[in-house]
Amino acid sequence: MALTDATDSAAHARACNRYYRKASVLVAALLSVASAAGAGPRYSEGGEGVVKIVRYNDGSGYVDGALGVVRNSASKNESIGCSIERAETLDDQDRPVARTIRVICEAKDASKQKARCVSDNERLAEAFEGISDDAIITFRFDANNQCTGVTIYQSSSLDRKQ
């Protein structure tokens, strides 16, 4: 009887943990939808939203910019973007034998300062899947101009291309 009680107790604990995890995810999702759908400040030119390049003393740094804002800007100096190149090598029977990937991120700010990084990291490339042309891109780089991370942010508070 004690073994059955312990087994029932463990099963009940697992069921409760699954329920609380699902409830936590649901609450977090609802909060993010509610906050994104609400009216609020726009991420636009004049405040944040222009291309920002930050370099640290060790040569590393990051770049931040909103695609829609840069595109709508009267300034012709600013730009930001990332490209992904994928290639496959095939054998004599057209079967893939090798795959390569290259991520290249580049930016130029209002003062014409430039930043660029490259990476062959597949996970970094996957971050760009589903990106809209109005998103904010933040990419980080090391002293050797290797991309070390990327953040894609999409929200209703971003200015859209016009």
The domain limits of the chain are: 1-38, 52-153
- pLDDT of 6: 47
Q: What number of other Cβ atoms are within 10 A of residue 43's Cβ? A: 19
Sheet of 96-108: strands edge to edge? 79-90, 96-108, 114-119
Do 154 and 134 form a contact (C-beta atoms < 8 A)?
yes
Do 81 and 105 form a contact (C-beta atoms < 8 A)?
yes
- pLDDT of 61: 97
pLDDT beneath 70: ranges in the chain: 1-49, 155-162
pTM: 0.64
- pLDDT of 41: 38
- pLDDT of 8: 52
- pLDDT of 109: 92
